[in-house]
Structure 1
Amino acid sequence: MSLKSGFRTACLAGAAAIAMIGAKPADAQVIDLSGQTVTLVHNAAPGGSTGLGAQVAAEAWMKTMAGNPTIVVQSVEGGALARGIRHVMNARPDGRTLGWVAWSGSTRVLDPEELQIPFKDFGVIGGVGGAHFFVHVSTNVGGGITTNDEFVEKVDKFTFGGFTALSAASMRTAAAMDLLGIEYQFVSGFGGDGPLQAALQRGELEGYPATGVIYNRTLKDTMIKDGESLGLFYFSPPKADGSGLTEDPFMEGLETFDAYYRRVMGKEPTGPAWDVIKFHGGIGDRVNWLVVAPPNTPEEHLSMLRESFAQAVTDPEFLEKAEKIFGQKPAVTTFPEIMDVVDEVARTDEALKETMRGYLNKMER
């Protein structure tokens, strides 16, 4: 190649590079949402904590999101909570579809490889936690009980329901029954707290893990107050010092699982089942709902979404409304810290995975 042609080639290459650099900002601009409608998808039945949380977040977020679009909340339930997640994953990255999804990250790692949901590929925006679960049981169980102590004394077999065996709340309930020495049968396919409560009242179930939201909003002053049902205990994140589960003042009238276990069994919970309960508390309760944009959302638009979300969830009006729904102030994790949670799930210990697979096999029989 001559010096002249080599120089010409270099110049063309340089011009192409400059053109590419010049084109990059245009591709990465914030999508214009002025006058647009953004759909915030959640993956549970309407009326539960997932849908209500999405609604108050939408009301706050539309005030901080660039262009101040209208945000509507849409329920896309089914598929063991996966249908709504995949709906967002397959949406166009045009800024008009976002997700507020109950992600069950601590159990999704158990899906077969071909069914794994690649959460890292989403535009991860943030996460919200704080909706602890308590085990809600009919007082007809075991021939009739009036206190939660009698559950261990009178019940030999317990039929409980949930969204799916892949739900952290359901798996923790199964682990708790194992630790208490109670045989159980799990019934899946319920889309939310409403269908579960109806099944309990019809006598199709003897109990189920319910959210603290529902405990404080309805059950405490209706079914539980009227003696139709009672709360056994609740699950929560482990304490930092490893001494047990965190007490939640908003779950007044209930006790943590480990406190209940010590009282009725006279010893400390230990073993693989206890490890499962602590693991799900550390991940599932820390981030109940993952807030995401579809994969390949432009980076600059994603940055705007992250910044506007962080602003929205610190607004006093949002926090006040969210506390009424969740029964406590929401635990919010914003970017980039939310990626630590997603990464921690991806690094789940293999021995713990095997224990959880054992629960899946037993619960799905």
Structure 2
Amino acid sequence: MPSNTLRNHKISTKLTRLSALFAMTIGVFSISTNTQVQGVSFEGERVEVIVPFKEGGGTDTWSRFFAPYLGKALPGQPVVVIKNIPGGGSTKGANQFARRGKDNGLNLLATSASTQFPYLLSDRRVRYDYNDWSVILASSTGGVVYVSPSTGITSAADLVAKKDKVSFKYASQGAASIDLVALLAMDLLDTEVQAVFGMKGRGAGRLAFERGEVNLDSQTSSSYLKKVIPLVEEGKAIPLFSFGILDKNGQLQRDPNFPELPNFAEVYKMAHPDSTVEEGYKVWRKFFIAGYVAQKMFFVPKSTPEDIVQTWRDSATKLVTDPTFLEKAEEVLGNYPQLTNEQAEQALQAVLEVDEKSQEWIRQWLLKNYNAKL
């Protein structure tokens, strides 16, 4: 479970650090190590990356995009393969990595906010500890909420105007997963949403949307760009809002990858034009930050020898500053920072610093709305 040291950091320090990290543009890095660690080679080896979600979701898309590039960036150019272990909102695969992950540099775990949130909320399914892992790379990202045209909703403003006339169904992998950002957002807009639990990832939720089983969905940017934009172009999905991104002052702004969409702060203001900001919105913002500033990460066990860890980090740093990679990454993942070395470490520590008061607020909200006892 998270240590008291992490939990007791001041929130203002956390927000300042997170804002600075999130506001950086891709390619602006202070590379702390420019020379590959001598003597470490992965030639002839096979690297296995555990993805604790089904194929087709945001973390799977992200991992499969990075895999061949990482293989080429590492000395010896090993084969990098993906192994999907879905279940428990990602806790099954993360627990297995915690038990069986080898510290030889050939085992990695890919995580997302759906791995972070159960850990932060002391979910009883969690048998892993982020303090037992060393981060190799962290990716910021965004997310988009969209609906079926069958709802009759055509925009965020339309949603606010018709919120009492439409009910929604949302296919979820669990209320304590990354889905809580979308579910809490819709609750704060005073909409009626029935969550259908049991999905093994956001990819499964999207497929339920495509089959017409639900009429509301959300995806992280990588999955949205690759899987949902075609649905929008075919008139099968109506985007409502993005969650937004933080500027250097910690203010929520429109996501530059979706500039035509209002961010959630704008939509919240539409729904509550004359109200002061409620506690629920403040908590939403903290979990949005915790879930999206370092939304996806690669880890190795902390017991991995330092020269191997540094080789991984140096290779990742070299990769994310390569112009060819950056061009392709923007197309597939969106224009977000890819953090390595000290910046990845700082992002990891910051996102694990959600204060106890906010954690308890979320626990009570989950219990009240979904009877979720963590």
Shorter-chain-normalised TM-score: which range?
0.7 to 0.9
Matched, 1:186 2:192: no
Matched to 2:162, the amino acid is K
Which position in structure 2 is the counterpart of 1:237?
Answer: 245
Which position in structure 2 is the counterpart of 1:6?
Answer: none
Distance (Å, rounded) in 1 between the aligned partners of 2:335 and 2:240: 23
Which position in structure 1 is the counterpart of 2:301?
Answer: 294
Q: Give 1:267 shift.
A: 4.2
Structure 1 residue matching 2:252: 3-state secondary structure: coil
Matched to 2:349, the amino acid is D
Matched to 1:183, the amino acid is E
Structure 2 residue matching 1:136: 3-state secondary structure: strand
Q: Is the 8 Å Cα contact of residues 62 and 222 (structure 2) preserved in structure 1? A: no
Matched, 1:148 2:156: yes
Which position in structure 2 is the counterpart of 1:303?
Answer: 310
Q: Is the 8 Å Cα contact of residues 165 and 363 (structure 1) preserved in structure 2? A: no
Matched, 1:197 2:203: no
Distance (Å, rounded) in 2 between the aligned partners of 1:214 and 1:176: 20
Which position in structure 2 is the counterpart of 1:92?
Answer: 102
Unaligned runs of 5+ in 1: 1-27
Matched, 1:123 2:127: no
Structure 1 residue matching 2:53: 3-state secondary structure: coil
One of 73, 76, 101 as aligned partner of 2:82: 73
Distance (Å, rounded) in 1 between the aligned partners of 2:45 and 2:66: 18
Unaligned runs of 5+ in 2: 1-36
Q: Give 1:289 shift.
A: 0.9
Q: RMSD between aligned alpha carbons?
A: 2.6
Q: Is the 8 Å Cα contact of residues 129 and 330 (structure 1) preserved in structure 2? A: yes
Q: Which moved more, 1:263-272 or 1:317-326?
A: 263-272
Q: Is the 8 Å Cα contact of residues 258 and 268 (structure 1) preserved in structure 2? A: no
* TM-score (structure 1 length as normaliser): 0.81
Q: Deviations over 1:281-303 (max 9, x none)?
A: 32221111111112411122112
Matched to 1:188, the amino acid is F
Matched to 1:119, the amino acid is Y
Q: Give 1:225 shift.
A: 3.7
Q: Is the 8 Å Cα contact of residues 58 and 219 (structure 2) preserved in structure 1? A: no
Q: Give 1:277 shift.
A: 2.3
Please list, as runs of the form range in 1=range in 2, the aligned pairs for 1:1-365 lying within 5 A after superposition.
Answer: 32-89=41-98, 90-104=100-114, 105-112=116-123, 115=126, 117-130=128-141, 132-141=142-151, 144-156=152-164, 157-168=167-178, 170-222=179-231, 224-242=232-250, 244-267=251-274, 270-326=277-333, 328-365=334-371
Distance (Å, rounded) in 2 between the aligned partners of 1:29 and 1:79: 40
Q: Deviations over 1:267-288 (max 9, x none)?
A: 4671222112211232221111
Distance (Å, rounded) in 1 between the aligned partners of 2:181 and 2:85: 25
Structure 1 residue matching 2:257: 3-state secondary structure: coil
Report how many residues are paired.
331
Question: 1:214–1:53: structure 2 CA closer, same or farther, 3 Å change rule?
Answer: closer
Q: Give 1:179 shift.
A: 2.0
Q: Is the 8 Å Cα contact of residues 317 and 340 (structure 2) preserved in structure 1? A: yes
Distance (Å, rounded) in 2 between the aligned partners of 1:176 and 1:269: 16
Identity of aligned residues (%): 26
Q: Is the 8 Å Cα contact of residues 30 and 301 (structure 1) preserved in structure 2? A: no
Distance (Å, rounded) in 2 between the aligned partners of 1:297 and 1:349: 30
Q: Deviations over 1:98-157 (max 9, x none)?
A: 122224424521024783521111122221122x1111112223xx33443332333344
Q: Is the 8 Å Cα contact of residues 174 and 197 (structure 2) preserved in structure 1? A: yes
Structure 1 residue matching 2:50: 3-state secondary structure: strand
